[in-house]
Amino acid sequence: MRSIRYRPFLATVMIIALISGCSLGGERIYTDSRIAMDTIVTISVVSDSSKEASVSINKVFGEITKLSELANFYSEKSELTAVNLSAGKKPVKVSPELFEIIRLSLDIAGRTGGAFDPTMGAVTALWDFHDEVLPDDTKLNEKAKLVSYKSVVLNDKKGTVFLKKEGMKIDLGGIAKGYAADIAIDLLKGDGIESALVSVAGDIRAYGSKPDGSPWMIGIRDPRPASPTENILAALPLQEMAISTSGDYQRFFIREGTRYHHLLSPKNGRPVKGTQSVSIISDKAVITDSMATAVFIMGPEKGLKFADKMGYLAVIVDDNGRIYISEGLRDVIEIKRPE
Amino acid sequence: MLSRSKGLNKRFRPADIFLLVFLLSMSVSGIFFIKEVMPKSTNVIIEVDGKQRYSLPLGTDSVTEVKGPEGPTIVEVKNGKVRVTESECPGKICVKQGWVDRGAIICIPNRIIVRLDAEYSDKELDAVTE
Amino acid sequence: MPSQNNLRIALLAAYAIALHAFEKLIPTPLPWMRFGLANIITLTALVLYGFRAGMMITVIRVTVGSFLTGTFLGPAFLLSFGAGVVSTSAMALTVRYLPRLFGTVGISIIGALFHNLTQLMIAYLVFIKRIEVVIILSPVLILIGTVTGTLNGLVSSMLIDGIKESAAETDGAVTAE
């Protein structure tokens, strides 16, 4: 009699175990979005412990905030502003991190023949895409002369930065976000996180795969979307790589039918025509962030050749909406733009 | 008392199977039907200091006062668009941004993010480079 | 006999409360989703001891359960009470009038269905007042209810067999117990 009484109980326990089995344990994606670097930073990590995930994520946000305080072009208190204010006067000692970003940006400027130039600050300060301020021609010409990455002097031993021309300004807006994404990934790897996706605005770097084994899937924004809900140009898996996009739709205003956007030519300080958007894929976000800008400035054809030569993968949309895709991407990319 | 109910305990009868299959197929097709028919509802998510505080339907007009560290920020939803009408912050960049139907409005001094939920047309994507 | 019946009802009601409390510990994919394990007891009692026993157990479970969680006469109580009473009645009516049409599993599914429909009705009338929410929720709830109802029905059916067998073994001991 007694043995029989246990049977339904056992059956119940077994059924419960069966149902709940699928939801027990295992890895999950933990995601957190916060404001940092004057934008939205989103970090997703794969972990089997929410505590481990949040500890790592908090650490990363702490580092990114520190970095953005150093490299903020608009903040009066940042080290970068101290360098800019001493232009033409004296070298300024900066923290090793800021020194490293400036060194990297000059290196990239050299590699792109000045298509990417971190000393665009004097020009960018004239434009205001929120208030739709169109700068005065003479002023623009005058400030464009101050754009020259070759006039930045780095002293490795002393850790100082010196801008030779008075009025010269370094603006790291085209590289700091990518650098932040790289730092985030390094920190997460150091914490033993097996898989993560970091996106600092549009600068994205990923490693590992999702809990189900599939790779992180990244969309590229359509520069001219068919509708607000159909705004993805293409999608591709991102593994151990970074991707960044520069587009004329990110910050712009339209005046008398002309689109004035934030991707300015280092030569004349005016928006570059011929391209709608450029996405670059490479191993580091600091590269993709700055190179997307550089390739945009070069224009579709020259830019694609340059990317090929450097070993970067590229997706370029030209002025007529034509899409150029690097050969190495054609097998994995999926075009999402509705026909 | 027991004898009255004897023979009642038949685990499955044909009608059970019929009922089971009927309800399963009705509810599953119902779920798919509703997914197709219902307008894709986009939500306006308002975050303060990284924490989600509000989720408002974009289809319903509303005015919400959000308290940030600097003071109140007023978010208005109307005709499927969202804007910040007033904000206690120095630059008022969020107010200048005007009506938005995609992406996000960020008020950095007041630590407020107003973003649209179904921002990307493809839900399988983990991130979008833009 | 009546006092013994009351004892049995009290015991089963206690089981139902325990099961109900226990299932709150089981993680489910949706926070408000429950398996309705207490229905195993209600259904078993209903089949073995009749409508009065089943209904008593439901009412006791809902009321005493709400005392324990401090939700007596609150919104959650209203939902559980209404849904419990309607679902027990629906199962009792099936047992009474369609005894040969549905098996134990079928009766359990009917109970789960009426439980969900009543909850949706009450939620619509008292709390949500937005029909689109009810329309979106109903197929999901019915799907989950049908699956859990089937599983609960299987367990009840085994339980009923077990009790019947033990009653047959001791032969007549049921009345003398």
**pLDDT at site A4:** 43
pTM of the model: 0.61
Mutate to test the interface with B, among A207, A231, A335 (most CBs of B within 10 A): A231
Enumerate residues 291 to 310 of chain A having a beta carbon within 8 A of any beta carbon in chain B: none
Mean pLDDT for A217-246 is 89
pLDDT at position B1 is: 43
Count other C-beta atoms under 10 Å from residue B103's C-beta: 16
pLDDT value of position A2: 41
Class of domain A27-73+171-213: alpha beta
Tokens 């903040």 correspond to A75
**Scanning the structure block, which residue is given the tokens 């593994």?**
A239
DSSP code string of B29-91: HHHHHHHHHS----EEEEEETTEEEEEEETTS-EEEEEEETTEEEEEEEETTEEEEEEESSSS
Name all chains with 3 or more CB-CB pairs below 8 Å to chain B.
Answer: A, C
Fold for C2-163, please state it.
Arp2/3 complex 21 kDa subunit ARPC3 (1.10.1760)
Q: Write out pLDDT tens, residues A133-144.
A: 899 999 999 999
The correct CATH number of A76-99+107-170 out of 3.40.50.1820, 1.10.3980.10, 3.30.70.1450, 2.70.98.60 is 1.10.3980.10
Residues of chain A within CATH 1.10.3980.10 domain(s) are 76-99+107-170
Task: Determine the distance from the C-alpha atom of residue A236 to the mean position of all C-alpha atoms in its chain, rounded to a whole number.
Answer: 16
pLDDT tens track for A177-213: 999 999 999 999 999 999 999 999 889 999 999 888 8
Among 3.10.520.10, 1.25.40.10, 3.30.930.10, 3.10.20.30, name the CATH number for the domain at A215-339.
Answer: 3.10.520.10
pLDDT mean values, one per 10 residues, chain C (177 residues): 72 86 75 80 91 91 83 82 94 89 93 93 78 79 92 92 79 45
**In chain B, residues 11-40 whose CB comes closer than 8 Å to chain C:** 11-13, 15-16, 19-20, 23-24, 26-28, 30-31, 34, 38
How many Å is the Cα radius of gyration of chain A? 24
Distance of alpha carbon B118 from its chain centroid, rounded? 8
- More reliable by pLDDT, A81 or A129: A81
Query: Across-strand partners of A204?
Result: A199, A243
Domains of chain C, residue spans: 2-163
pLDDT at A228 over 70: no
Subunit contact A202:B129, Cβ cutoff 8 A:
yes
Nearest to B93 by CA among B73, B78, B76: B73
Residue C31: what pLDDT?
60
ipTM: 0.82
What kind and span of H or E run contains A279? strand A275-282
What is the pLDDT at residue B121?
A: 45
pLDDT (mean) for A246-259: 90
Chain region(s) in chain A for CATH 3.10.520.10: 27-73+171-213, 215-339
Task: State the pLDDT at residue A196.
Answer: 96
- Res. B40 pLDDT band, cuts 50 70 90: low
| C147 close to A11: Cβ distance less than 8 angstroms | no
Cβ atoms of B107 and B87 within 8 Å: the answer is: yes
Q: Report the pLDDT value the prediction gives residue A145, as an integer from 0 to 100.
A: 93
- Helices within chain A (DSSP H only): 2-21, 50-71, 79-85, 96-111, 121-124, 137-144, 176-190, 285-298, 300-310
Nearest to B130 among A42, A229, A247 (CB): A247
User: Rounded CA gap, B121 and A118, in Å?
Assistant: 34
Exposure string of B66-88, with b = 16+ CB inside 10 Å and e = fewer, is: bebeeeebebbbeeebbbbeebb
Residue A335 in contact with partner chain B when CB distance is under 8 A? no
Mean pLDDT of chain B: 77
- Range of lowest pLDDT (A54-63, A76-85, A117-126, B79-88): B79-88
AA identity, residue B97: Q
pLDDT value at A19 more than 60: no
Residue-level length of chain A: 339
Q: Is the pLDDT of residue A10 over 80?
A: no
CA angle at residue C15 from C67 to C98, to 5 degrees?
Answer: 105
